[in-house]
Structure 1
């Protein structure tokens, strides 16, 4: 029944997207930001608390295991082959007592259970072992939804001449979306990798990717992104 409901939801969403695309295009939306010259992979919250079962933040496990992780593995292979920047983003808090007079959770714990992601429990916020960082890759710890808000991310990317961010991870409706919105605001070209983005709620990925593609970044398939990365080797060779 759930599968049938999801299929019906997908049909309804696609019909809405088709109608909205016509309106958007008539009004000048859905323009292309395009790939730039030097990309970085920004992987948002693909840590155990989100990728593995049994946690409040656990995302759709079928999509995680069959689409997101395999897509990430392909992207990581391509980025590593070209020695391009990779940033693994995770979230955790040092003061998780909701009654504490001071906490690094800010006010967010009044909306969602961020208090469960305790910095002391590394297994929760560690990047999933299937896509674990290797030497030369950076793990960034954030406290808010966006990977940019209050972090060093923009400065690191600029210092490494990055102009394009390929964004993956979870969730489509929150941390991924906020990262993409802040990314374009900070002057980077955001590319959302379709198969490598997930959520907990049916329809959330499809809706947010449609809206992102209309307003904040380009949505591209894993195949398109890997082809772009692989093509950079030819460009570099021609420039020598």
Structure 2
């Protein structure tokens, strides 16, 4: 992100923080007693070069951070859910496509279920035995999926959310997670997007209304302090 945009956002955030705090926003939801890690769309179509969905800062920031979170979860027995997106019917003229009307806004036709490599979780953070791989059809990881029921059955009260994008699938997952009654934590360094400023703006706004934005260091410490 260029210096000019960074300066502009910093000024906007300072002014918005003053307004939010005057009106009672930016409260904390806090960590609970039983966490789970939810990685959103960290699959090849989003993490590898050359796809319309490819996001920034995958190699230098997001993957290393998620690797740390995964290690802490696996060491301490915390549930891990890897979420990805793909579609069985990618013909936009087919009225029965599982894309619904979303294809009218974004190129979801480039993640065909028939090409598993596209929607497979990035091998650097690949699932191990016992970890869930959940396929969604909409932006939110909760919409039309079994995620909420799975988490409740496991006794989870806190979800740590990583992935892409800050402006869409991560954001809606956090919003729906809070609506479903979970403590929502957005892991700052492990969330990305394609557009400059999108991560910074969305995390600022999410932290004011829908989740606590916490560093990967603090999240790892938390995962190490509680047992699964």
Both proteins in one fold, TM over 0.5: yes
RMSD: 0.9
Match of 2:216 in 1: 222
Mapped to 2, the partners of 1:103 and 1:138 lie a distance apart of 25
- Aligned position for 2:45: 49
* Deviation per residue, 1:55-78 (Å, 9 max, x gap): 010011xx1101000000000000
Asked whether 1:131 is paired with 2:142, we answer: no
Q: Which residue of 2 aligns with 1:8?
A: 4
Matched, 1:202 2:196: yes
In 1: Cα distance, 2:91 partner to 2:124 partner: 31
Q: Which runs of 5+ in 1 are unaligned?
A: none
Tell me which stretches of 4 or more aligned residues in structure 1 moved more than 4 Å.
Answer: none
What is the CA distance between 1:100 and its match in structure 2? 1.3
Give secondary structure in 1 for the equivalent of 2:226. helix
Normalising to structure 2: TM-score of the pair?
A: 0.99
Q: Secondary structure at the match of 2:191?
A: strand
Deviations 1:161-207 (A, max 9, x none): 00000000000000000000000000001100000000000000000
Asked if 1:72 corresponds to 2:66, the answer is: yes
SS in 2 for 1:40: strand
State the partner residue of 1:191: 185
Aligned length: 228
After TM superposition, the score normalised by the length of structure 1 is 0.94
Give the SS at the match of 2:178: helix
Alpha-carbon distance between aligned partners in 2 of 1:231 and 1:103, rounded to the nearest angstrom: 45
- What corresponds to 2:16 in structure 1? 20
Distance 1:80 1:86 in 2: 8
